[in-house]
Chain A
Amino acid sequence: MSVALFAALVSALPLTWLAWRDPKRMRVSGRRDRAPLSSRIRGLLTLCVLVPGGVLAFYSAAAVLIWLGAVTTVGWAISEGLAPRR
């Protein structure tokens, strides 16, 4: 099932980018040094996040479940990790 973890890792990259340049996150963090991602780029990145899961669907349901569980917990971890400091 390492293929599922690899797919989750692949999904984590665009997910991190999405979070890093997320408009609302940047606004509440007071980050004005970079422009937030446009909605088109965000849509594209979202697709990139989901594609590995879609590919896994042709492999096995177990792999999809592992990928989904890993991506959701990684997404939470990214949100926590990128939260502005006090």
Chain B
Amino acid sequence: MIKLSQERTKELLAIHGWSGIILGLLLYAVICTGTIAVFSTEIGDWSNPLDGPATEGLPPNINALVQELGDQVDPAYRDQFFLYSSGGGRLMLQFEGHLEQDGDDDHPGAEEHYGVLYEIDPNTLTLLNRTEGPEAMLDAARRATDALADFFVDLHVRLHIPNPWGLYVTGVLGLIMMVAAITGFLVHRHLIRELFTIRRNKEALLRSRDAHVIAGTWTLPFAFVLAFTGSFFSFATSLGLPAMAMVVFGGDQERAIAEVFGEPPATDETPAPVANFDAVIADATARTGARPNFIAGSFYGRADSQMRAFTPAEEGDLTGRSPVYSGVTGEFLYDKPVLVGQSPSAGNAVAALMAPLHFGNFAGIVSKAVWFALGFAGAYVALTGMLLWTNRRADQRAWQRMGRIVHWMGYGLPLTMAMTPYGTFAGRWFGWPLETAQWTAFGLAALAALIVALGARTAARARDLLVATTGFALLGVPLVRYATGGPGWLGAWSDGLMTVIAGDLIMMLGGVICLGLWRFGAGTSAEQAGQANSRPGRSNPQVTA
């Protein structure tokens, strides 16, 4: 496509390969978990269902209960309130304020967030759980309802590394993916001519090169978009906002936040009634054409209270809307841009596109399925690229070892992800701390995969073992879910829990596919290349970029 000198092509290929191989293992983990996280809502509904189906958006007739619970909260912790859905469609009502810690005049105590979290069954409108404490405790209680999805999302967003470092790492990985996409595009000389060319009947390295290049070529635009938007999300709040505050507002982050997200209304601490939540939800639904799935409010029970309803994208649109209401009368005040600023702007329009482009959640299950396929293709490109790179150098001992590590990550990560539900279900059933149980299952699977990857006689044997084990693990997930108190298929059918049945079927289908690949498939071409090229000194001069 773009004519480059041989020297320049070599340089770009080196950048493409080295950037990929150095951080490719982590990038592969981020892509794999991101692919699964596309269905985070469905994973939550499948793994922790209630007795009735989860509703689309916030459930109806909740005003009386929300007001009753809100009135029980200490007014000191009503600075902010949130209403949203969690795993299984649970309605979560959260109040937060500031708890000042002990100090003296010279050393005033630090303020920490403190509040109350109610977990409500939206079908029966009964209170399931109440948690009161600092933010971390509320966070843990919220995560417990959506533990499995949260585990994958956290792995995708920050690799479970504490903030902001995890966000920095994934942001850099996004940049690396962009570099790989651009350099891959530049070095591929016959982009259109070879769009359908996979020489599976030729030498192993040529096969693997074609497999990597063709998957990469087809999904190139989306690889770039997903990498760019992912980087944006990682860096926007961890680096972008502080940097902007530094440059434009002299380091005043509060001023920067007010400028970006809007000024809060004038303070008025006079006690006041609370707006009718059902009426606000009904108005937002009528106004935007979609039922709100999130309400964020400030100063519950005060005259300066406001609440903002967030609605998902209407049919055909990419972004939702967020009308703002008086928290006292429920009167509609204005339509606020979803992301930044007080009035519609090009900046907000562009920023608001980042979420649908990255999450693919703008058209329900259809767009999610397409984004899942794109994520799968991205993971395939990353894995085949790393295998190709290591197999080309398989005559060197260090690269042979690296090849085994790539096998560990490439085929072991799906196994560890398939084992994570075991930890989640067992933890919930036996009352263990959920995160510990999840990490135990995940860690043990990772360790077992490492032993197999390093200890197997050949890399192909390691791959076969890991793929087969993943297949059996996936087949066992529905059984473990049922054995640990989850609904059976008949019960799920009668309760309208179609997500449960669909989730089980998808797990089983994944298991069957893995076992089919193990039994009848031949693995990736790159892996085959490793077999063919395993003896030192043997190389394939026909393989070029």
| A47 adjacent to chain B (CB < 8 Å) | no
Which residue of chain A lies nearest to B202 when distances are taken between CB atoms in the complex?
A: A28
Q: Is the CB of B201 within 8 A of A85?
A: yes
Give CA–CA (A25, B364) in the complex, Å.
37
The one of B196, B222, B313 in contact with A19, judged by C-beta atoms closer than 8 angstroms, is: B196
> A residues within 8 A CB of B197?
22, 24-25, 28, 79
| B194 adjacent to chain A (CB < 8 Å) | yes
Given known pairs A22-B196, A83-B200, A84-B201, the reply for A76 and B366 (CB within 8 Å) is: no
Q: Chain A's interface: helix, strand, loop or mixed, by majority? A: helix
Give CA–CA (A47, B540) in the complex, Å.
39
| B316 adjacent to chain A (CB < 8 Å) | yes
**Interface-facing stretch out of B138-146, B277-285, B370-378, B512-520:** B370-378
> B residues within 8 A CB of A5?
366
Q: Is the CB of A24 within 8 A of B194?
A: yes
| A48 adjacent to chain B (CB < 8 Å) | no
Q: Is the CB of A79 within 8 A of B196?
A: yes
The CB with the most chain A CB atoms within 10 A, among B195, B211, B221, B222, is that of B195
| B7 adjacent to chain A (CB < 8 Å) | no
| A1 adjacent to chain B (CB < 8 Å) | yes
Which residue of chain B lies nearest to A76 when distances are taken between CB atoms in the complex?
A: B218
Q: Is the CB of A75 within 8 A of B222?
A: no
Q: Is the CB of A63 within 8 A of B221?
A: no
A79 to chain B, nearest CB (A): 5
30 contacts between A and B (CB under 8 A): A1-B364, A22-B195, A22-B196, A24-B193, A24-B196, A25-B196, A28-B201, A59-B316, A61-B316, A62-B317, A62-B356, A62-B363, A63-B363, A65-B318, A65-B356, A66-B370, A69-B222, A69-B374, A72-B218, A76-B215, A76-B377, A78-B196, A79-B195, A80-B198, A82-B196, A83-B198, A84-B198, A84-B199, A85-B200, A86-B201
Top 9 nearest A-B pairs (CB, nearest first) are: A60-B316, A83-B198, A76-B218, A69-B370, A1-B363, A73-B373, A1-B366, A19-B196, A22-B196
